[in-house]
Amino acid sequence: MIAMNILVCFKVTPDLDQLPPDGWEVDRAALTVETSFVKAMINPYDESALELALRFAEDAPGPVKLTALTVGDRSADRYLKMLYALKFDRAVRLETGADLRFTPEGIAAAIAAFVSRNPHQLIIMGRQSGVGDNAATPLLAAEKLGWPCIAHVTEIRSLQEDLLKVRAQADDGFLSYAARPPLVAAVGNVPHAYLRVPTLKERLGVREKKVEIVAAALPAEEGAGCTLTGLDVIDRRRAGLKIEGATPQEKAGALYELYLKERLAKL
Amino acid sequence: MSLTREQIVEQLVGILGEDNVVTDEAVLRQSSVDRFRRFEELHGVFTQPLPAAVVYVHSTAEVAEVLKFAHKNLINVVPRTGQTATEGGLETAVANSIVVDGSRMNKIIKLDTYNMQATCQCGTPLQVLEDQLRALGYTTGHSPQSKPLAQLGGLVATRSIGQFSTLYGGIEEMVVGLEAVFPNGHIARIKNVPRRAAGPDIRHVVIGNEGALCFITEVTVKIYKFMPENNILLGYTLDRMKTGFEILRQVMVNGYRPSVARLYDPEDADYHFSHFSEGRCVLIFMAEGPKAIAEATAAAIKEIVARHPECQEVDSRYIQVWFDNLNWDASDVAEERAEILETKNIGNTTEISADWEKINVIYEACVERIRREVPDMTLVGGHSSHSYINGTNLYFVHYYNVVDCKPEEELTKYHLPIKTIIVEETLKAGGAICHHHGVGKYRTPWIDQEHGSAYYILETLKRAFDPRGIMNKGTIFKG
């Protein structure tokens, strides 16, 4: 049986939750936000994508080859090594040296170029990341490859030898697709998909394995979809009022009169 | 003849009223364990005997009445406040125990900024006290990771320590006076004085008793001026733990008192500081206090570290971000629960202490043995986070995947073997088997070895103050 090749794309991002509201240092001239002192992590949507791929490989009736791919700098290498320990067959980093925050076209082109040189039947990636927040890369990659793309994916299973069962979230529920690869799956909110943790023994077993580093230039014309022209901090603080009252009933009454009554009447 | 569960509940309702006696089975199950058995608890498996009731007390007099009732009828009592215990101290080892919850005794009684002390009821959350003090320009100096959740009674009962302890000390150095209720209902108030030589320091009978001798109802702690504007953070990476311990030793023996002095091994550093540690150890300091003292302390630390060429200074903003995200609140606990359930990967910690000569010996022996002897480990490492002139602590961090076993087998397959290794190696080297989490129920088997000939003093306390053995059975004391 021929192995199914799955490419899982992920991005290493700063954990922006670690930045306190007054900790956002914005350089308006350089158009950057200082995040280099914040701990890094795998973008949560991509973390789900990686775990879904591992589950797919475990349950698939036939052989599956998993490739993890990221476009970024060497800070991603420790995560790629970890993915080797989790039984990914290949761990590849495309090194561009470019500012990747607002270049979904360029990243999608780089992914498509990689796939054209390294055939895969299924690409799984998170729908968006906190940095850039474009939510465009999976769609653009699918377009460049001429493949269909299913968005907001929460589950991927093997239905038959060449048929996938893909579950995706919609506005009012879930959609189940029977999809024939090739396909791009853009992973959305998966309720339970924390990435598993490799053991020390598994990490030791791949200590000598090297991350594949591939130089890749982002095509200049591909990065020009939009141009960053300014950065500003949005003040999301909201006014608050402490409701005073002698009893919980009194406070609940005040809450109802002040805030809920009018809104409920409009329902 | 012992009372039935129904009779116990009926009499508790008579003492405290129906609203303050909870017998809901789900609550009883949750109240039969603490974080030590959270893997079982997360899977809905409860293996400990269920208590008869959880009771909420609102005054010292109510505590005295409940304890007298339990004392008379030989009913086990488990005192608790913030429920952040990690070592099994809140487990109900005896069926039909009474869990006495002091969290509703949560008044801040007095903030005395002239005499520099604050008096609170046992259920006062440390975060609430600290926030009120900081608004006035003061601090307790106490900052355990559990600060957003822990309450004063429990912090004192477990001899807790905070992240700034190298300057402010552990809770035992902060407590000025307190009030505690003993099993026979006697209410003892230890008055608030700067120091006294009127016999042994009886505060230490209460501090760290883990609910096995008495119930703490009120605490007075020292307060300090809060001057965060003078804080100086320093961070370094280095190759060897041994070098790090030596730097900590030199800082301490030369008389400097940074509030934070922490040394992480490469594994633990990778967990917290992977964005800059690059596989090396990490050393962190914070100097605080009056400007001149903070500056002098920081300058001295820099000079000491400079004598060790393997140390590389890192931008202090790395340390600032870490510092801003130190503590665990309810959302972190909730996220941890979801992650454990999903990945079957769980982490625990075990803290010990030893003198400067022994600490690295214990560190190396424990890490080597755990890696070799315990299956499915995903992280074995640790850090030193509280230093003294004569030694330091080690906070072992151990994570593992729970593989091929039922939730109720997790402890015996993984957690207890790890604990055993750490305790054995610590005792062998002459260190202390518990540094700041308390003994709980799972280091009790070694408590006599821990104290040696001095165990006579400890067990005499139990016989004297809890002669009928009703206080938190299995905690600290065997049997």
Per-residue pLDDT of B18-72, as tens digits, reads: 999 999 999 999 999 999 999 999 999 999 999 999 999 999 999 999 999 999 9
Question: A45: helix, coil or strand?
Answer: helix
Cα dist. B58→A87, A226, B10, B98, B195 in Å? 56, 63, 19, 16, 31
Please give the residue range of the domain that contains residue B75.
5-103
CB B30 within 8 A of CB B41: yes
Show residues of chain A in contact with B376, CB under 8 Å: 199
Span B147-188, pLDDT tens digits? 999 999 999 999 999 999 999 999 999 999 999 999 999 999
| Residue B412 maps to a domain | yes
Q: Do A193 and B342 touch (CB under 8 A)?
A: yes
The pLDDT value recorded for residue B330 is: 83
Buried b (16+ CB within 10 A) or exposed e, A66-98: bbbbbbbeebbbbbbbbbbbbebebbbbbbbeb
Sorting pLDDT into bands at 50, 70 and 90, what band is A100?
A: confident
Q: Is the dihedral of CA B400, B425, B144, B227 positive or negative?
A: negative
Residue A220 has a pLDDT of 62
Q: What is the pLDDT of residues B194-214, one digit of tens each?
A: 999 999 999 999 999 999 999
Q: Is residue B430 part of a domain?
A: yes
Examine the domain organization and report whether B23 and B64 are in the same domain: yes
Number of domains in chain B: 4
Which pLDDT score, from 0 to 100, does residue A225 have? Answer: 65
For chain B, say whether A78 makes contact (Cβ under 8 Å): yes
Among residues B225, B250, B281, the one where a domain terminates is B225
pLDDT per residue as tens digits for the range A191-207: 888 999 999 999 999 99
**Residue at B468 is within a domain:** no
Residue B155 and residue B203 in one domain: yes
Q: Does A98 touch chain B (CB under 8 A)?
A: no
> What is the spatial distance between Cα B92 and Cα B8, in angstroms, rounded to a whole number?
15
Q: Are residues B91 and B116 in the same domain?
A: no
Residue B410 within a domain: yes
* Six token digits for residue B143: 């900052």
Among the listed residues B292, B271, B295, the one whose alpha carbon sits nearest the alpha carbon of residue B281: B271
- Domain assignment present for residue B470? The answer is no
ipTM of the complex: 0.86
CATH number at residue B13: 3.30.43.10
- B338 CB neighbours in chain A (<8 A) are 192, 194
Tell me whether residues A199 and B275 touch, CB distance under 8 A: no
Binning pLDDT at 50, 70 and 90, where does residue A99 land?
A: confident
Closest CA–CA distance from residue B269 to any residue of chain A (Å): 12
pLDDT of residue A1 exceeding 70: no
Residues B22 and B114 in one domain: no
C-alpha distance from residue B225 to each of B129, B133, B446 (Å): 14, 9, 40
- Do B334 and B277 lie in one domain? The reply is no
* Structure tokens that stand for B192 in this block: 């608030």
Place of tokens 């596989």: B279
- Distance CA(A11)–CA(A195), nearest Å, equals 14
Q: Which residues of B touch A (CB under 8 A)?
A: 270, 272-275, 315, 317-318, 320-322, 324-325, 338-339, 341-343, 345, 371, 376-380, 399-401
**B467 within some domain:** no
Task: Say if A138 is an interface residue toward chain B (CB within 8 Å).
Answer: no
Q: Which of B275, B300, B324 is the last residue of a domain?
A: B324
Does A39 sit within 8 Å of B342, measured CB to CB?
Answer: no
DSSP-derived letter for residue B50 is P
**Residues B207 and B132 both lie in one domain:** yes
Q: Point out the domain boundary residue: B187, B210, B225.
A: B225
Cβ contacts (< 8 Å) between B317 and chain A: which residues? 37
What CATH number should be reported for the domain holding residue B185?
3.30.465.10
Please give the pLDDT value at position B157. 98
Render pLDDT for A119-160 as a digit per residue (tens, 0 to 9).
999 999 999 988 877 889 999 999 999 999 999 999 999 888
Cβ within 8 Å of residue B318, ≥6 positions away: A37, B235, B273, B275, B276
pTM: 0.92
Nearest to B324 among A20, A36, A194 (CB): A20
The answer to whether residue B278 sits within a structural domain is yes
Closest chain B CA to residue A193: B342
Q: How confident is the model at residue A174 (pLDDT cuts 50, 70, 90)?
A: very high
Domain ranges of chain A: 4-224, 240-267
B52-88 exposure pattern, b = at least 16 Cβ within 10 A, e = fewer? bbbbbbbebebbbbbbbbbbebebbbbbbbbbbbbbb
Task: Assess whether pLDDT exceeds 60 at residue A36.
Answer: yes
B424 and B336 fall within a common domain: yes
Q: Is residue B171 part of a domain?
A: yes
Backbone phi and psi for residue A124, each to the nearest 5 degrees, phi listed first: -120, 130
**Fold held by A4-224:** Rossmann fold (3.40.50)
